């Protein structure tokens, strides 16, 4: 999805649940998705539901919700982050596929092409390699004039003006 225009992003992932304009060139799109947890009928002979639930809980899976936070810089996707209890039994961020599935199934022309590997460019165990964010997408002119107060025992605020 990296490099995709906001128009193509909305065409394959839908309309975002929320948006936030960070500065003149950068905005955030937030998508949310939920996945129903499979239900297994109770059984007295073989407790399938109990076994699956136990494996999911100890195996790191069992997630049902995901929030995708997508940064657009100059109207192009530059960063994608996932939050929520979004892990499946194998791999991470698997529940988030419900948000990005449309973009993966029919790639848009403005998407960055990824080099394929033995299991493809994207795995359930690692994200694709992406370039660093541009300065305009991560820098706010307001933040350049202040710094974090280095003195933990100071009575001054946590953020203080930058000294020249």
144-156 pLDDT, tens digit each: 677 778 888 888 8
Rounded CA separation 61/37 (Å): 11
Structure tokens at 33: 């998705």
Q: Quote the CA–CA distance of 163 and 138 in Å, as a whole number.
A: 22
Residues 6+ apart with CB under 8 A from 136: 23, 25, 26, 73, 74
Taking alpha carbons only, the member of 65, 95, 66, 77 closest to residue 28 is 77
Higher pLDDT, 17 or 85: 17
- pTM here is 0.63
Other CB atoms within 10 A of residue 26 CB: 22
Q: d(Cα 110, Cα 7) in Å, to the nearest integer?
A: 10
What single DSSP character describes residue 153?
T
Domain spans of the chain, in order of start: 4-112+127-161
**Tens digit of each residue's pLDDT (9 = 90 or more) over 21-49:** 988 888 999 999 887 666 656 555 666 66
- pLDDT digit string (tens) for 86-109? 555 555 666 777 888 888 777 676
pLDDT of residue 63: 65
User: Rounded to whole angstroms, how far apart are CA atoms 74 and 76?
Assistant: 6
Per-residue confidence at 15, pLDDT binned at 50, 70, 90?
Answer: very high
The residues, ordered by sequence, that sit 6+ positions from 158 with a Cβ below 8 Å of its Cβ are 148, 149
Query: If we measure between CA atoms, which residue out of 32, 40, 109 comes closest to residue 65?
Result: 32
């Amino acid at each position: 999805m990296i490099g995709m225009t906001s128009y193509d992003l909305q065409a394959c992932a839908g309309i975002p649940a929320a948006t936030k304009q960070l500065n003149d060139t950068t905005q955030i799109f937030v998508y949310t998705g939920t996945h129903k947890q499979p239900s297994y009928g109770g059984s007295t002979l073989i407790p399938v539901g109990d076994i699956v639930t136990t494996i999911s809980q100890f195996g790191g899976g069992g997630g049902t919700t995901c929030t995708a936070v997508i940064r657009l810089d100059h109207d192009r996707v530059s960063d994608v982050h996932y939050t929520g209890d979004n892990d499946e039994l194998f791999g991470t961020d698997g529940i988030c596929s419900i948000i990005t599935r449309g973009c993966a199934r029919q790639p848009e022309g403005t998407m960055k092409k990824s080099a394929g590997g033995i299991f493809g460019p994207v795995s359930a165990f690692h994200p694709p390699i992406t370039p660093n964010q541009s300065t305009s997408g991560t820098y706010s002119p307001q933040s350049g004039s202040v710094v974090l107060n280095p003195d933990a025992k100071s009575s001054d605020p946590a953020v203080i003006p930058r000294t020249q």
